[in-house]
Amino acid sequence: MSLSDLFGGDPVVSGQQVRIEPTQQRSTARLSGLLDAAAVVVDEVGFDRITTAMVAERAGASIGTVYRYYPDRVAVLQALRERAVLRFRQRVVEQLRSSGPENWWDAVDCAVTAFVDLYRSEPGFRIVHFADRERTPISGSEDLESGYFARQLAGVLAEEFGLHGGPELIFRLEVTVEMADSILSRAFHSDPNGDERFIAECRRVMRDYLVGYYGPVAASV
Amino acid sequence: MSLSDLFGGDPVVSGQQVRIEPTQQRSTARLSGLLDAAAVVVDEVGFDRITTAMVAERAGASIGTVYRYYPDRVAVLQALRERAVLRFRQRVVEQLRSSGPENWWDAVDCAVTAFVDLYRSEPGFRIVHFADRERTPISGSEDLESGYFARQLAGVLAEEFGLHGGPELIFRLEVTVEMADSILSRAFHSDPNGDERFIAECRRVMRDYLVGYYGPVAASV
DNA sequence: TGCTCACCGAGCGGAACTCGATCATAGAAG
DNA sequence: CTTCTATGATCGAGTTCCGCTCGGTGAGCA
């Protein structure tokens, strides 16, 4: 099981999201263009105020085009979120590859770095929190929930760094993900560049929490 | 500075929220009735699907009455959230009074208990997370942010249990609040009664985090 | 030269929100 | 204790705006 298998993956999610899978080239550009526009608009006016007309206009498309690809307004937001989550996972893989972690903490740290980087650079990235809390009965695919990422990460930590896997590890990673998500969000709440104090504290909290269960970082290589 | 001064307080928040402060008796009943209705409807259909017409009908009021008090749809949700936060603070005070904490951890634990209890019993309480993440430019009052509660709690812990106060304590409590909020929300994500495993882990995380800075619980009495 | 995919945007239905008419209440006046 | 009345409170039809549809038009592929 390689890293790319774990995190990269294909956009499995699109199954329920997009009405019509684009066949021609220009349409795929439209599709991403719509999401780009949505990302910018979300940053400007927020979740509640965003309208499909705004997205269409910003993307240089007509309102009908939006609905050709997405069944409704929230589907656009969900697709944007899916793309953000996907990019996050891809970024984690890049980060792992480029930094070459020597122990499990380095690997976890890569995820934090990826998250912070994307929060800073990717428009609309804060959407990753949207609909987290919302009750989503038919949420289509399940690889958007924090549990999915926790499971994937558990696989890496167990196989690559010898952490004892199983449901315990998954559970603790899910707790870790929730903590990190909230503290990092807080870091960006008022500071668009991310309050370093919260970011640093987030790393510390995660590390201490996991060390409590899996021992010092050095010993687990 | 008494506990009730710290947490009880008056609904300072209403200043920007309500269009017209009710003067007659029946109107205050209407106001809370509207929020009661909104709470139930939120639990039933979620944030996105809730309509002002639903709230009005459930409250036995006309649509015009809703807009007499609230400028728009989201204002109703915000007001509901304000009330939930207020009730949480009041519940914390009750909890502190009835349980008589002997050390700082007992006091913190009271807050967790209050939160969990309300999540279980109070309709629409999960709204406390709504608009947390949302950019709220003119969010009216600031005693809804986690920082406010952290400051209040810091006051109690410093004065009552001798913890060293100041910005450090406030910062750590804010981190603690964010962590607890996210983990507890996760506990109620799929289990309406709250997954005890996450709740217990939340307590452990908070305790370990604070103990790391302020020493063992017993020693700090 | 068709044939299908992609796109457009006027139009429809419904939800958010307004506003003048109507009812209820508090408190003054007798 | 009863009017009386000013004003708060309520109502709900109507207006505006937004989510979404659908038939018609243009662009790419064979």
Å separating the CA of residue A55 from the C1' of nucleotide C11: 20
A111 and A212 inside one domain: yes
Residue B208 counted as domain residue = yes
pLDDT of residue B23: 75
Q: What are the mean pLDDT values of chain A's consecutive 10-residue runs (221 residues total)?
A: 48 56 76 96 91 96 96 92 92 93 95 97 88 54 73 92 93 96 92 96 98 81 43
Q: What are the mean pLDDT values of chain B's consecutive 10-residue runs (221 residues total)?
A: 48 58 82 97 92 98 97 93 93 94 95 98 89 56 75 93 93 96 92 96 98 82 43
Using DSSP's 3-state secondary structure scheme, residue B39 falls into helix
A141 and A214 inside one domain: yes
**Domain residue limits at B185:** 3-15+81-220
A157 and A180 inside one domain: yes
B93 and B114 inside one domain: yes
B92 and B174 inside one domain: yes
Q: Structure tokens of A208?
A: 């201490």
B30 and B8 inside one domain: no
B55: domain CATH number? 1.10.10.60
pLDDT of residue A143: 62
Q: Tell me the torsion sign for CA atoms B130, B132, B135, B140.
A: positive
Residue B167 counted as domain residue = yes
Task: Give the CA dihedral A20, A22, A28, A33, nearest 10 degrees.
Answer: -20
B43 and B150 inside one domain: no
A92 and A109 inside one domain: yes
Residue pair A99/A213 in contact by the 8 Å Cβ criterion: no
Q: How many CA atoms lie within 13 A of A164 on its CB side?
A: 6
Rg value, chain B, Cα: 18
B102 and B61 inside one domain: no
pLDDT of residue B221: 43
Q: How far apart are CA B217 and CA B160, in angstroms?
A: 14
Name the residue of chain A whose CA is nearest to B197's CA.
A171
Q: Which of B126, B186, B209 sits opposite A205 (nearest CB)?
A: B209
Q: How many domains does chain B have?
A: 2
Q: How far apart are CA B174 and CA B177, in angstroms?
A: 5
| Strand D interface, A 139-158, C-beta < 7 A | none
Residue-wise pLDDT for B22-53, tens only, equals 778 888 899 999 999 999 999 999 888 999 99
Residue pair A218/A103 in contact by the 8 Å Cβ criterion: yes
A158: domain CATH number? 1.10.357.10
A26 and A57 inside one domain: yes
pLDDT of residue B128: 84
Residue B198 counted as domain residue = yes
- Asked if the Cβ–Cβ distance from A46 to B197 is below 8 Å, we say no
By the CB < 8 Å criterion, does B74 face chain A?
Answer: yes
Residue B74 counted as domain residue = no
Å separating the CA of residue B73 from the C1' of nucleotide C20: 23
pLDDT of residue A144: 63
- Asked if the Cβ–Cβ distance from B46 to A134 is below 8 Å, we say yes
Confirm whether any atom of chain D, the nucleic acid strand, is less than 7 Å from CB of B58: no
List CB contacts (< 8 A) between A77 and chain B: none
Residue B180 counted as domain residue = yes
A148 and A172 inside one domain: yes
Buried b (16+ CB within 10 A) or exposed e, A103-139: bbbbbbbbbbbbbbbbbeebbbbbbbbbbbbebeeee
pLDDT of residue B70: 96
Residue B75 counted as domain residue = no
Residue A77 counted as domain residue = no
Q: Which of A134, A174, A185 sits opposite B47 (nearest CB)?
A: A134
A87 and A187 inside one domain: yes
Residue-wise pLDDT for A151-188, tens only, equals 999 999 999 999 998 999 999 999 999 999 999 999 99
Listed residues B69, B92, B108: the one ending a domain: B69
Residue A76 counted as domain residue = no
Q: How far apart are CA B144 and CA A38, in angstroms?
A: 28
